[in-house]
């Protein structure tokens, strides 16, 4: 799998993470960030400066859809959910990650 520079890789991975997060149900932006932090036990801390552009781009591409709803606080918040297209993309990207991670692991973690 061709890999350009670190940014591309990061952005692509972030997109996949967001998609996966939303596959569990709709969330607002803060909800996505929190979930990722908690699930990875603070290993992955997403900066808002990266998160929101990613969310907007994903929506523009049609992988997410957004709607206004009421948050836990009772305030109005913008919720995202996965579209059918997004689900398809998530599956494809998960598979690619498996292949990639598997290959890298094979090399890096092999007995000398």
Partner 1 sequence: MDKTRTNRSPLWRLSAEQEVEEELAFHLEMRVRQYLDEGLDEPEARRRALAGFGEPGELVTTCRQIARTRNRRFELLDAWQEWVTDFRYALRQFWRNPVFSALVVGILSLGLGANVAVFSLVDRLLLNPLDYPRPERLVTVWEEHASRSKRKNVVNPANFVLFREESETMQRMAGFVTIDATLSDDAESALRAKARVVTDGYFEILGVAPVIGRAFDESDYADGSARTVILSQHVWRGRFGARHDVIGQTLSVDDREATVVGVMPHSFGLDMGPEVRPYGNAPDIYMTLPVTPEWRTASGRWLMVVARLEDEASLDDAHAEMELLSERMGEVRQEYNAEWRAHLIPLDTHLNDAARPPLTALAVAVVLILLIVCVNVAGLLTARAATRSAEMLIRDALGAGRARLVRQLFVESLLMSAIALSLGLGLALAATPILEGLLPIELLSTATVRAQSVFPTRMLALSVTMLLVCTISFGILPGVIATRRLHHVRGDGRAGPEQYRLRFWLVFAEIVLAVLLLVGSGLTLQSFSRLLDVDPGFAHSGLVSFAVAPSRELSDQQLFTFYDDLLSQLANTAGVREAGAITHIPIASVGAATSYFPLDRAEPDAGTAPSAAIRVIRGSYFQTMRIPLLAGRSFDSSDRPDANLGAVVVNRQLADEHWPGDSALGKQLQVSWGEGGARQIVGVVSDVKHAGPASPVKNTIYFPHAQERERAMTVVLRSDEPIDAVMPRVRAVVSRIDPKLPLYDVKDMSAVLGGSVQKERVLALLIGIMAVAALTLAALGIYGMMAYAVITREREFGLRMALGASPSSIATLVLRQALVLLVAALSAGIAVSLLGGRFIESILFEVSASDALTYVAVSVLLALGCIGAAMLPAMRASRVAPTIALRQQ
Interaction site with partner 1 (CB under 8 A): 28-30, 33-34, 47-49, 52-53, 56-57, 59-60, 62, 65-68, 71, 73, 75-78, 81, 83, 85
* CB nearer partner 1, residue 25 or residue 53: 53
Q: Which residues on neighbouring strands pair with residue 50, listed in sequence order?
A: none
99 three-state secondary structure: helix
CA atoms within a 13 Å half-sphere pointing along the CA-CB vector of 102: 6
68 three-state secondary structure: strand
Q: Which helix H or strand E contains 28, and what residues bound it?
A: strand 27-28
Distance, CA of 10 to CA of 5 (rounded, Å): 9
* CB nearer partner 1, residue 25 or residue 62: 62
Nearest-approach distance from CB 96 to partner 1, in angstroms:
24
Nearest-approach distance from CB 50 to partner 1, in angstroms:
9
Nearest-approach distance from CB 76 to partner 1, in angstroms:
7
* CB nearer partner 1, residue 17 or residue 54: 54
* CB nearer partner 1, residue 88 or residue 95: 88
Distance, CA of 48 to CA of 43 (rounded, Å): 16
Nearest-approach distance from CB 84 to partner 1, in angstroms:
8
């Amino acid at each position: 799998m061709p890999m350009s520079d670190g940014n591309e890789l990061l952005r692509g991975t972030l997109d996949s993470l967001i998609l996966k997060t939303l596959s569990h149900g709709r969330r607002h932006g803060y909800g996505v960030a929190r979930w990722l932090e908690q699930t990875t036990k603070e290993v992955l801390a997403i900066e808002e400066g990266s998160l929101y552009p990613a969310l907007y781009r994903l929506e523009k591409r049609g992988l997410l859809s957004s709607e206004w709803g009421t948050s836990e606080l009772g305030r109005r918040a913008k919720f995202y959910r996965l579209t059918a297209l997004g689900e398809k993309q998530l599956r494809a990207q998960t598979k690619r990650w498996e292949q990639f991670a598997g290959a890298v692991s094979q090399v890096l973690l092999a007995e000398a």
